[in-house]
Amino acid sequence: MSSQTNQPRVKRRRVFYIPGYDPIPPRRYRELYRSESARQAAISGYEISVSPKTGEGLYGWHVHSVQDGAEVHTDVEVLVWSDIVRSSMSNSIAATYLQMLRTAWIYISTGVLWRLMRLRKGPVIAALYPIVMLIAQLLVAMAVVIGLTVLLAPVLSLVALVLSIGVAYVMMLWFRKIDNKLFVYYLMHDYAYSAASGGKTPPELAGRLSEFSNAIAAALTDETDEVLIVGHSSGAHLGVTVLADLIRSGRVGADGPELSFLTLGQVVPMVSFLPNAYDLRADLRFLSKREDLAWVDISAPGDGCAFALCDPVAVSGVADADQRWPLVLSAAFTQTLSAERWRALRWRFFRLHFQYLCAFDHPDRYDYFRVTAGPLSLGHRFADRKPSGSRIVRSVSKYVSVQA
């Protein structure tokens, strides 16, 4: 992290957080920020406090921090699309199995699955996990039907079959009820939502992203020093679309606040590799060459749900010779977490996927609360950092066109 004291100081900042595919209300992120920022401040020796947001508008909170002798005020707002997520998840068991077949066919028939496997195995395994588990749950239910029918048939004949099917159905309902522990239906809906249109942005989401652009544009007219957009997980590729629209429309002034973009645990290739993702690929290429933007991409090989250290522009096949962004860096969980915490978290894949928003025991490489509430803008904070030497920058996607 940059330690220079002669860098321009940020006194006021606006942060817009774009969640991934998550049905949870935005207050979850406020509580996560409050608890983890306090923990990080105790470890790192700075002051930070979170208070409720005043006024109307987007859901958010205010952060006051004193770091490196500088006082900083930050307003964090969540760009909510959890209602769209919940609506997309309201499928029956049968509809979920149809989603599974359709999604698997899209990724396999287009050859995208094999291309993704050439990047990182972790997120591909995460994508296959719900398919394997849904099939396993169905096989268990079928085994119950067959077993009970054979056992009861000599006594009850047809009634045995009906009873067996009823028991199997109750079992399938139970599997879905405990999905908050298994994440099978949740992940299936996630991948199905992105794949349904072959990479195009669904109409209801496109309208919401336009609202996000408007909110950020308004912030760029405020008396603030930095406007920082944070895209986590699938929120990363949504952020790409939002910022590209914002800049193309001429709403980023040369004399306004610094515009910064931080992507965390991105899964961009899951969408940009799809055949119809023309707009996303065009947006990736567009942002990668901007001089009016600082874009830093943070991931970690220990995060099995992200395409860790994969340059989203390069692997999508749209990098030009004059590519500037993103600066791809590693959060290096094995080094930034204590040995004890790493042992406790390494097999909790979904918790690790949110570690970027949490406290680190040894935050020399990356500290979310210095980035969002510290006195340096994103660009200045990482100005002296070189990209990770183990990042993947080769073109892997089969589909690279930016025009339909």
Q: What is the pLDDT of residues 115-140, one digit of tens each?
A: 999 998 888 998 899 999 999 999 99
Q: What is the pLDDT of residue 2?
A: 42
- Does residue 229 contact residue 216 with C-beta atoms inside 8 Å? yes
Q: What is the pLDDT of residue 52?
A: 93
Q: What is the pLDDT of residue 196?
A: 86
Assign 1 a pLDDT band (cuts: 50, 70, 90): very low
- Does residue 31 contact residue 357 with C-beta atoms inside 8 Å? no
- Does residue 147 contact residue 294 with C-beta atoms inside 8 Å? no
Proportion of the chain above pLDDT 90, given as a percent: 80
User: What is the three-class DSSP state of 340?
Assistant: helix
Q: What is the pLDDT of residue 5?
A: 52
| pLDDT surpasses 90 at 4 | no
Between helices 235-248 and 278-288, what is the axis angle to 10°? 70
What's the one-letter identity of residue 324? R
Q: What is the pLDDT of residue 3?
A: 45
As given in the structure block, the two tokens for residue 378 are 């994103």
Contacts of 9 (CB under 8 A, 6+ apart): 70, 225, 375, 376
Q: What is the pLDDT of residues 325-371, one digit of tens each?
A: 999 999 999 999 999 999 999 999 889 999 999 999 999 789 999 99
Give the other-Cβ count within 10 Å of 347's Cβ.
9
Q: What is the pLDDT of residue 155?
A: 61
Instruction: Give 233 or 162, the one with higher predicted confidence.
Output: 233
Assign 388 a pLDDT band (cuts: 50, 70, 90): very high
Q: What is the pLDDT of residue 36?
A: 98
Span 41-66, mean pLDDT?
94
CA distance 28 to 17: 12
Span 25-53, mean pLDDT?
96
Q: What is the pLDDT of residue 6?
A: 62
CA distance 93 to 86: 15
Q: What is the pLDDT of residues 135-154, one digit of tens each?
A: 999 999 888 888 877 776 66
Assign 156 a pLDDT band (cuts: 50, 70, 90): low
- Would you call the peptide bond into 202 cis, given omega within 30 degrees of 0 as the criterion? no
| pLDDT surpasses 90 at 278 | yes
Q: What is the pLDDT of residues 60-107, one digit of tens each?
A: 999 999 999 999 999 999 999 999 999 998 778 999 999 999 999 999
Q: What is the pLDDT of residue 166?
A: 86
Stretch among 7-16, 259-268, 285-294 having the lowest mean pLDDT: 7-16
Q: What is the pLDDT of residue 151?
A: 76
Q: What is the pLDDT of residue 153?
A: 66
- Mean pLDDT score of the chain, rounded to an integer? 93
Q: What is the pLDDT of residue 210?
A: 97
Contacts of 192 (CB under 8 A, 6+ apart): 88, 99, 100, 102, 103
